[in-house]
Amino acid sequence: MEPIEESTGDSRLAERLATATPEEREQLLRGLVLRHAAEILEAPELDEESNFVENGLTSLRALQLSKALMNDTGLEAPLVAIVEHPTPTLLGKFLSETYEADAA
């Protein structure tokens, strides 16, 4: 399944997350993580299973990724989560689970 691309600042993202099934929500968030990570790491060939550290993640870039994700989603994306979930797939799943826990 291909990630659904979201543009930064898309006011529809919150609505799409709220109405999405858990699988769709995870897909939306995975796509968002992938897009931001590729931009921040300057790695256009990044894919869903690419490891952030192996693609040049530094503490500064992790902070940038964390802030970008929090700005777009309103979800807490701590630096430790990026290290513990080092691929777009894993971080997207983490954010989806965080969204579901916050909504409960």
Superfamily of domain 13-103: ACP-like (1.10.1200.10)
In the prediction, which pLDDT does 7 show?
42
Domain extent listing, the chain: 13-103
**Residue 8 pLDDT more than 90?**
no
In the prediction, which pLDDT does 11 show?
67
**Residue 102 pLDDT more than 60?**
yes
Paired tokens of 35: 């897009």
Query: Model confidence at 58, in pLDDT bands (50, 70, 90)?
Result: very high
Contact between 46 and 88 under an 8 Å Cβ cutoff? The reply is yes
Place of tokens 């989806």: 96
In the prediction, which pLDDT does 103 show?
84
Contact between 92 and 20 under an 8 Å Cβ cutoff? The reply is no
